[in-house]
Amino acid sequence: MQYINVGKENSSSIDLYYEDHGKGMPVVLIHGWPLSGTSWEKQITALLEAGYRVITYDRRGFGNSSRPSSGYEYDTLTEDLRKLMIKLDLRDAVLVGFSMGGGEVARYFGKYGKDRVSKAVFMSAIPPFLLKTPGNPEGVNGSVFEGIKKALSKDRPAFLSKFFSNFYNVDILGGKLVSDEVVRLSWNIAAGASAKGTLDCVSAWLEDFRGDLKRIDVPTLVIHGDADRILPLAATGKRTHEAIKGSRLVVVKDAPHGLTWTHFNKVNDALLTFLKK
């Protein structure tokens, strides 16, 4: 198992687990909350077969990475990504962020510009700005996020069960495009994550990425499902596309938040087409 050290907490090192496979243009896959790099299963195979070098890693607190008590805000999370890219000496890489992972992609450009990066992909992603404010009326009321925090604190496993039901739109797609076993696998991965990290990340979702998006000046693809119940298209993907000049928006019909599994063929086609250009 491969790890990169990104810091230290008291007597413990903070290490991120990563995998680095294949040859060719590097594609860095940044997973969503509360999963791990294994959530990219359907994309990893397709990218390797198409001749790309594929790098996945587990965000701190999740998967096989260390579980420190702090660092679950986007500046630190993006520094973690940067350290991984430097360690692997990645050049002209493509950053692909799913859901919460889209925040690291946006903040990377905000902090480091396009250094080491040639393209960007936002997939069911969290930017530009989720919190409703006077200057962001399209956002979500802060009380919603407080409710999520309370539910996680009260009974995290129960909350995760409800979350993944909406993540995959199980009431509509269950038994058709997503099996009970896939939902259970997602739950198992999420339940094994850091309880504190899982909770702290909710506050990170309220970051304002509008300024970061303005700094993106590389070819950019936005992929989003029009049946996303976690991060609705109108509040996220559509606005991200509008904020990034020259970006391409691919709306996957009837796709839920977890479209990397339920609609992986359409997602992979759009991603590979974009990478080839």
d(CA 96, CA 121): 5
Buried b (16+ CB within 10 A) or exposed e, 50-75: bebbbbbbbbbbbbbbbbbeebbebe
How do the residues of the chain divide into helix, strand and coil, expressed in percent and rounded to 5? 45, 20, 35
Q: Which of 106, 54, 8, 63 is nearest to 192 (CA)?
A: 63
Give φ, ψ of 45 to 5 degrees. Answer: -60, -45
> Catalytic residue positions?
99, 228, 257
- φ and ψ at residue 263, rounded to 5 degrees: -125, 40
Q: Which residue has the tokens 């928006």?
A: 249
Query: Comparing C-alpha atoms, which of 55, 50, 43 is closest to residue 93?
Result: 55
- In Å, how far from its chain's centre is CA 262? 16
What is the per-residue DSSP string for 259-270? HHHHTHHHHHHH
With residue 221 as reference, give the H or E element that holds it. Answer: strand 220-225
